[in-house]
Structure 1
Amino acid sequence: MDDLTGFQRDLLFVVAGQSEPAGVAIKDEIEEYYRKEIHYGRLYPNLDTLIDKGLLEKGKKDGRTNSYLVTNRGRRELQARLDWERQYNA
């Protein structure tokens, strides 16, 4: 997880917090958090990076819409990050 950008890490948390969200749902959630518009040209390449790193899987909701799911490795990485943060927020 140490090789991810903060944006990529936030995307991973957003996907983990939803049930196989589509890109639009991820975009809506991350825009709410960042309080600004996130362009698809930023969103999808970063989701693809997380897929390439084995942290997300991409599936199909229908013919046009993809869904995203955190892999077991992604969940382990998220838990390790939370554990690391907790040691500094005690």
Structure 2
Amino acid sequence: MRDTTELELMLRGYGLTTAEILYRMPDHPGVLQTYLWQDYDLAPKFPVLNSFLEFWRAKLEGPLHSIRYTHKKLISPSEWRMVDGEILLH
């Protein structure tokens, strides 16, 4: 997916997903830390976010506490229309 441009992803239905991840500090489990994550993803299954969370659970030491996310499609099909014509200036 990384060799694809952002515009191509948006035209394929991807939207910008932002997640606020609260996790416990490994050395101090009573302390919560915030991590913000942002990438293009497909709603409603969010495969990119779920892949990142699986990586977090498998490789990082800070246990997850909670996740809040928002998703916004930046381009929708109704915003694109074919223009058949040409306007010449000067």
Higher normalized helix content (fraction of residues): 1
Greater relative contact order (CA < 8 Å, ≥ 6 in sequence): 2
TM-score in same-fold range (> 0.5): no
* TM-score normalized with structure 2 length: 0.24
- TM-score normalised by length of structure 1: 0.24
* Structure with the larger strand share: 2
